[in-house]
Structures are given as C-alpha cells and as structure tokens.
Structure 1
Amino acid sequence: MRSPELHLRPAEEADLSFLRGLYASTRAQEMALTGWTQPAIEAFLDQQFDAQHRYYQEHYQGSDFSLICQGEQAIGRLYVFRGPTTLNLIDISLLPEWRGQGIGTRYLQALTDEADAGGTSIRLFVEPANPAKRLYERFGFGVTGSNHIYQQMHREAVPALAVPA
C-alpha cells in the first residue's frame, strides 16, 4: 500500500530526468518571456541544469541531496549542506502543482528547528523576485549580501527559552 505521507529520500542517478524537469518548471515563466523556440529553450535549460547539477555535486560534497516525495511520487527536491556552524539551504523546489500547499513551509520549519536545536545559523541564496523570499523573511531570514543575480539571506539560531530549574 502506498503511503500518502510526505517524506524525503536520497536523490539517485535514476532521478536525473525528474530533476531536469523540475528545474525547467522553476524557470518556465522566465523562459516564456524570451521569445525563443521550444527547442532553444529546452537546449538552454538542459545546459543550465547540467551546469547547476555539476556545481552542486562538486562544491557541496557531503550534502543531503533529497527528493521530496508524496508517497512514491517525487514532487520536489531539498538540498542541504550541514556545516559546523551553518546549514546551507542549497535548494528547495516543488513541481508547480504542489506549490502553495505548505510543503516548503513544512521543510523550512524542520530546518529552522534543527538549526535552533544545534545552535547553527542558516544561509541561502534567492533571486530577489522569487516568491519564496517572503517565506524566508517570515522565518526570520534577512538579506546579508547580493550579487547581480542572487541575494544572500541569513538566519541566526534562535535559542530555546531557558527553563528555570
């Protein structure tokens, strides 16, 4: 019997096709504005996905590269690097039909709870116009830097309230 529950599982080589499609879905609005042909868009997105995937694998060795699954169905990805003092939220994305249902919030809450319990901060990079930026701000992230594409956001650990003995 298939479980309807959300869960994470490690991404595998066999998941590359899904991950490539997920990546393309995150850039669909942007690509619609280019005026490019569909084959040109697909070629560009394939190249961009390959470059991103290779970069993540090389620069974030030891990370958790996970698929977000609803039962057996992959619906998104969650990539996290756990450093000694900082959790790096490398990426969280969901297929369009799964966005806006609180799934990203659930996993971001789990990460902030983990960071708070361990006394670690969280860092991420986001495009300024990405709707997820509002979610990050609600969780206490603030912009700490930027380049011409991404804003760096950071959240310090929130210590648990001291309970008197």
Structure 2
Amino acid sequence: MGRGSGPRRPGEWVLRPAEPADVEQIAELRAVVMRPDLERLGRFDEHRVRQRLRDSFSPEYTSVIVVDDAFAGSVTLRPAVDGSWLEHFYLAPDLQGRGIGSAVLRTLLARLDAAGEFVRLNVLRDSAARRLYERLGFTVEAQDPIDVYLVRPPNPGRPASPTGGASTGHRS
C-alpha cells in the first residue's frame, strides 16, 4: 500500500482514508468509469449514476487512491457478516491498464486473507473488470440480468468455510 515516506517514483500509488468532502469527486469518477457499461445495458442515467454513490458513500470504509499526489480513484471495503463487500472500486480511465488497479486490489486482498475473511462484490454483466477479479481468485456466486455477484475465499486455492472469518471492520 503505502510506498514509504521518502520520495515516490512517478506512477506509484498510495491509499489515504476518504473524507466526506471526497464524495463528489468519487461520484463523478463513477459516472465516467461506469458510463460505457451502463449504456451498453441501457441503464445509464446522468443523475442516478452519481446519486447511487452519494446515497451509499461511507467514508469510514473508503480509501482514496492517490497517484503522483493526485486523486486517481477509490475503493470501499464494507464489513459484512462473513467478511467484506468490495464496492466503489474506480480508477481514472487514463490510469487503467498500468497495473495500479491490480496492485491496489492485491494489497486489499492480502489484508483480507490475513484476517481470514471472504470478500464479495458485484460487477455489471460483461464488464471488463470481471476478468481482473477472476484472475485474483473470485468466482461467480450468483447473477441476474444486470449484475454478476462474485466471491473470493481467504487464500483462494485452500479450503475454507464461508463463515471462517468474522469481519473486523478494517479500514482500507
């Protein structure tokens, strides 16, 4: 996660705790990032895409991704009964494909693995993001005409019980 206290190389990232004032910047990024998939599904609405983020924004569980000292994205890890829900994982389009999203996600998953937690998320049907999640051990748990629900046990590849880890409400 953090890359030390010394100078960072260009393109390095850090996570910082979200603040209530971050909501509008994250809502705007959500609209930009999700627009192509929502349009493909016939569900894009300029207002609704932003309002859904505003309505569910939880700064206490959200981290802001910072690259080169600038806002680059967000990720939320919300406590759940048997682990965590990964939500609002957005990265600025000009930073996608550079390994930043994978590195952020691997860092968060390592924390969840250490805590023995399952992690769940949903992704829009046919979204390119699904490939990233599946590469990192997520599998389909359920799906509907719009969303695919994925789950990842702690330390994928090793047997685990779905109730194997109670959430400790870790900050991301």
Q: TM-score range by the shorter chain?
A: 0.7 to 0.9
1:68–1:7 distance in 2 versus 1, CA, 3 Å: same
Considering only CA atoms, is the larger Rg found in Structure 1 or Structure 2? Answer: 1
Is residue 155 from structure 1 mapped to residue 162 from structure 2 by the alignment? no
Is residue 25 from structure 1 mapped to residue 25 from structure 2 by the alignment? no
Q: Deviations over 1:49-73 (max 9, x none)?
A: 113320x24xxx6852121001320
Q: Which runs of 5+ in 1 are unaligned?
A: 35-40
Partner of residue 78 from structure 1, selected from 71, 75, 79: 75
Taking only aligned residues, the RMSD between alpha carbons, in angstroms, comes to 3.0
Query: Which amino acid is 1:131 matched to?
Result: A
Distance 1:22 1:128 in 2: 20
Number of the residue aligned with 2:64: 67
Is residue 45 from structure 1 mapped to residue 51 from structure 2 by the alignment? no
Q: How many residues align?
A: 150
More relative contact order, 1 or 2 (CA 8 Å, 6+ apart): 2
TM-score normalised to the size of structure 2? 0.73
Q: Which runs of 5+ in 2 are unaligned?
A: 1-5, 159-172
Deviation of 1:26 (Å) = 1.2
TM-score normalised to the size of structure 1? 0.76
Bigger shift: residues 24-33 or 143-152? 24-33
Q: Deviations over 1:19-54 (max 9, x none)?
A: 2320121133257769xxxxxx8xx32332113320
Query: Which amino acid is 1:47 matched to?
Result: R
Partner of residue 98 from structure 2, selected from 92, 97, 101: 101
Distance 2:27 2:93 in 1: 14
Q: Greater helix percent: which structure? A: 1
